[in-house]
Structures are given as structure tokens and as C-alpha cells.
Structure 1
Amino acid sequence: MGYIREYYERIIRLQEKEWQFIASHFARRVFAKNEIITQVGETEQFLSFVETGIVRFYIPGDEQELTFDFCFDKEFTCAYPSFLTRTPSECALQALTETVAWRISYEDLQRVYAETQAGNYLGRFVSEKLFLAKSERELSLLKYTARERYLRLFSERPDILKFIPLKYVASYIGITPQGLSRIRRQIS
């Protein structure tokens, strides 16, 4: 739980009483490598803070999966549209490595929002961060070529290139693995 507190305290100073109330609503869960965290069609019940591990967001398909995001250590994650709207998820979340997560249920998060000023502020901060990441991703897909998107990963998200299999990197930047191989040959 210390990592969550560190994350929060980079944003706002927590009173001990508020922290104890917030922390009491989180539960630790360990996901095995390749375990599905959230299935397509399942309503997301938890907002998770990834203590260690890597989570992949994808849309399963008959012929190919479409990977559209990753979450690394010390970040919050979930199938956020499903979590907010209480409707079935259109994407799946998978632990790419053994992943340790601290999870808070939708209902408990609502209690934290209602009963603590810090919780409300932190909830807004996390929501805004998730929205900005989604907006940046959409703009990247519209504005840059596949080659430019790949090159931008080196400065913007180097963990993707360091820890993620190339087949998922290719899908993430919107091309086939063969297309990514061509780009990598051209720039080497």
C-alpha cells in the first residue's frame, strides 16, 4: 500500500485519518502471467493500482487481437468506460507478467469520494490523467505515420519497447508485425 500513498502524496498531502479510510478500501490481488483480469462482456468492478507488473488492453478478434494500451508499475488501470458506466466492457485486460494490484471496488470508491475531500480530488486527478492519455493516443493515430508512432515510443513510452513483445507493439501502433519489421529494418 505504500506505493499508492506515495502516488497520492505526489498530488496532495493526506491526513493520516483520510489515508487510513482510503487504504481500508483497497485489497491486494496477484494475477498470474497471461491471466485475464477483465473479460470482454464483463462489467469492470475494480479500479486497480498496479504495484508491479504489466497489463495489456486489447480487443479480441477471430483472426487477430487489437492491442491498444499498456499499464505499467505505479499506475492506475481498469476498463474505465465499463467501470464508469457500469456496462459490459468492450475490451479485455490481461496481465502480461505476474502482476500485483491493489484494487478498490466501484462501490467503495464512491464511499471514498463521498467521505473524503482528498479522495474526491485524487479521483478527479486520476480521471483527468486517463482522459489525457486516451486523447494523446487518439491524436497520435490520426496525426502520425506508423513509422513516426514507432519512433515516438522511444521518447514517450520507452517501457513499451523494452518490455512488450513486438507483436503487441505492432498492434499498438496500428500495423502488422511484418510492417513493424520493415520499419525496424529501415531505421537500423
Structure 2
Amino acid sequence: MEEIRKQFEKNVSITDADWQLFASKLKRMEYPKKSVILKKGNIETSLSFIEKGIVRFYIPKIDNDLTFSFSFANSFVSAYDSFLTQTLSTYNVETITATVLWRLTYNDLQEIYQTTQIGNTIGRIAGEDLFLKKSKREISLLKNTAEERYLSLFLDRPELIKQIPLKYIASYIGITPQALSRIRKRIS
């Protein structure tokens, strides 16, 4: 839980009273590998912080799922569009590895906004983190080749990328697993 405070305090200091209220609302949840933590058609009720593990976002398909995002330890994770609007999610959120999340419900976050001096800043920091990840991905899809997207993911998280099945990586960078194999052969 202290890692969450460190993330916030990179941008703003938090009083002990505000932190105590915020921390009292967090619920630690452990998920085994391959756990669907949000299923398409359900409403996202939590904003979470990943203590450990890897989470993927995907659109389920009959043949092959379409992976469009990953989240790693020490970052926020949420089907944020569903969370903000409290509407049905159009995709699944699943753990790739055993994962530990610190979860904050939508209603608890609204209470934190209302009762703490720092609540809105905490929400903004989490929202900005999620937005920047999404924006980086969209720009990468528009401007980089599949090989550049793979290298970027590999350089950003070399120790973790080995834990992600190649079919998910291929889907994420927008190519087939066979094309990813050719790219990996070329760069090794």
C-alpha cells in the first residue's frame, strides 16, 4: 500500500489524515493467473493499483481475442471508460500472471472526492496515468511499425515481457503470431 502513496507523492503531498481515509477504503485482492477480473457486459466498479502482476485488456473474439493493452506493477488499472460512466464494459480485463491489486470502489472514490483535501488530485493522477497509457498506445499504432511497437514494449519492460504469451503480444502490436516470430528472428 505504501507504493500507492509513493506514486501519488511524486506529484503532491498527502496529509496523514487524508491518506488514512484513502487507505482505509482500499481492499487487497489476490488473483491467480488467467483470472477475468472484469467480464464484457459488466460494469467496472473499481479503480485498482497493481502491487504485483500483469493485466491485459482484450475484446473477446471467437477465433482470437484482440488484446489492446497491458498494465504492469506499480500502475493503475481499470476499464476506466466503464468506471467513469458506470456503463457496461465492451471488453474483458484479465490477469496474465498471479496478480495482487489494491481496489477502490467507485462509491468510495466519490466519498474520498467529497471528504478529503486531496481526493480530486488523487483521482486526477490515476486518470492521467490511465489516459497517458492509452494515448501512447494509439500514437504508436499510428506512427510505428509492428517491429518498432514490439521493440518498444520489449525495451519498456524486458523482465516482464517474457511472462506474456506471444499470441497476446502479437495481437497487441497488431500482427499475427507468425509475423511476430519473423520479427523476433530478425532482431535476435
Contact 2:76–2:129 (8 Å) recurs in 1: no
Q: Is the 8 A contact 1:153 1:160 kept in 2?
A: no
Q: Please say which of residues 148-157 and 17-26 is displaced more in the overlay.
A: 148-157
1:167 partnered with 2:167: yes
- Are residue 29 (structure 1) and residue 29 (structure 2) matched? yes
Partner residue of 2:111? Answer: 111
- TM-score with structure 2 setting the length: 0.94
Partner of 1:64: 64
1:30 touches 1:100 (CA, 8 Å); kept in 2?
Answer: yes
CA RMSD of aligned residues (A): 1.4
Residue pair 2:34, 2:95 contacting (<8 A) in 1 also: yes
Residue 174 of structure 2 aligns to a residue whose secondary structure is coil
Whole-Å separation in 2 of the counterparts to 1:114 and 1:155: 40
Displacement over 6 Å in runs of 4+: none
Contact 1:160 1:169 in 2 (8 A): no
TM-score by length of 1: 0.94
Shift of 1:157: 4.0
Tell me the SS of whatever aligns to 2:30.
Answer: strand
**Cα deviations by residue, 1:95-123 (Å, 9 ceiling, x for unpaired):** 11111111111011011111112121121
Matches within 5 A, 1:1-188: 1-188=1-188
> Where in structure 1 are there 5+ consecutive unaligned residues?
none
User: Which runs of 5 or more residues in structure 2 are unaligned?
Assistant: none
In the TM superposition, residue 159 of structure 1 has moved relative to its aligned partner by: 4.7
Name the SS of the counterpart of 1:117 in structure 2. Answer: coil
Distance in 2 (CA, whole Å) between partners of 1:153 and 1:96 is 16
Cα 1:56–1:63 shift into 2, 3 Å: same
